[in-house]
Amino acid sequence: MFRFSNIMPLELQTQTRLTNNLVARFMNHAYTDGTFEFSRQEQPNQFAHSFLDTLHQNGIGNSQEDAPIVAVLGSGNGRDDYLFAQHGFEVIAFELNQTARDNILSRFSQGGLENRLTVMENFFNNDDLKPRSLDAVYAVSSVHYFNPLQLHELLSIYCGLLRDTGLVGLALKTRNASWYREFREHGLNPQERFDVSDLIKPSFIEDCKVYGYHHELSQEPKGSASIYLTRWYYTIPQLEAIAKASGFKVEASKPWQVENYDRHGKTEEFAYLVLKPIRGAAQK
């Protein structure tokens, strides 16, 4: 089902194919049942407004002539994609889930902006994109299903797809996310651990252990094996170090509290990072 960028090592391709299959299954349930708040939200994420301001401050998207291109990784229902299109961007929306892709298309059609939209499925399948062709890459809450090695690979690939002036806007949950806190409060140990010491060299950070917890889908029909998805809970220094190891300079990085993102009444801490490619550095 999934095809990968040729430059990805084979073992990592296989591992990532498995992760994507789990994400796809998990999201099929989530979108069918409306389990999470994000799938019903109409308003753009706060990160989208902030990233748009940053793009404008960097001279991206100010001209009426050339439409800049933004790749959105894990678009969900397309609420942020649509905001970018309203501001003149051409949007490449990557989304694994069919229901979500249908929602994106209908949102753009209803707003008469379908000519600014290209819909693609898996953001690891990007061979159709030309090197240094993107003005922006944006991902909210969609890359924490991938372990540090996969995240490093993904960022390295998009580093090569960005123009020299391009920027990444990245938001993902941290260890202060409500789920992580609840797992800890219940005394549960993480099911997955990944030591990033070698991956991030020569950067140094104090805490090199990234923890992953299995999130089970309680809606799984009786009689079938329970399925789960690993969410990786990164710290902000870990994300910064992985971004640097993937060929980026960190332009901005901060914690950001979002209410009612997945579950009503819960506050999630996200890490929000803006990254710029370093040219001439080791990159793909």
Ligand X SMILES: C[S@@+](CC[C@H](N)C(=O)[O-])C[C@H]1O[C@@H](n2cnc3c(N)ncnc32)[C@H](O)[C@@H]1O
Q: Which residues bind ligand X (CB under 6 A)?
A: 20, 23, 27, 38, 45, 74-76, 79, 94-97, 100, 122-124, 140-142, 145
Amino acid (one-letter) located at 22 = L
Looking at the DSSP assignment, which residues form a beta bridge with residue 256? 270
3-class state of residue 161 by DSSP? helix
Parallel, antiparallel or unpaired: strands 162-173 and 134-140 = parallel
Q: Provide the minimum distance between the beta carbon of 202 and ligand X in the complex, in angstroms, as a whole number.
A: 29
Q: Tell me which residue of 93, 52, 49 sits closest to 74, measured CA to CA.
A: 93
Of 89 and 124, nearer to ligand X (C-beta) is 124
The smaller minimum CB distance to ligand X, of residues 78 and 277, is found at: 78
Q: Is 49 left (phi over 0), alpha (psi -120 to 50) or beta?
A: alpha
Half-sphere exposure of 50 (CA within 13 A, CB side): 17
Least Å distance, CB 273 to ligand X, is 15
Please identify, using beta-carbon distances, which residue of 145 and 183 lies nearer to ligand X.
145
Shortest spacing between CB 146 and ligand X, in angstroms = 8
Q: How far is the CB of 123 from ligand X (least distance, A)?
A: 4
> Token digits for 214?
């299995």
Cβ proximity to ligand X, 54 vs 125, nearer residue: 125
Query: Which of 101, 208 has the CB closer to ligand X?
Result: 101
Round to whole Å and give the CA distance between 270 and 256. 5
Tokens representing 254 are 């901060």
Tell me how far, at minimum, the Cβ of 3 lies from ligand X, in Å: 12
Measured distance CA(16)–CA(10) in Å, rounded: 10
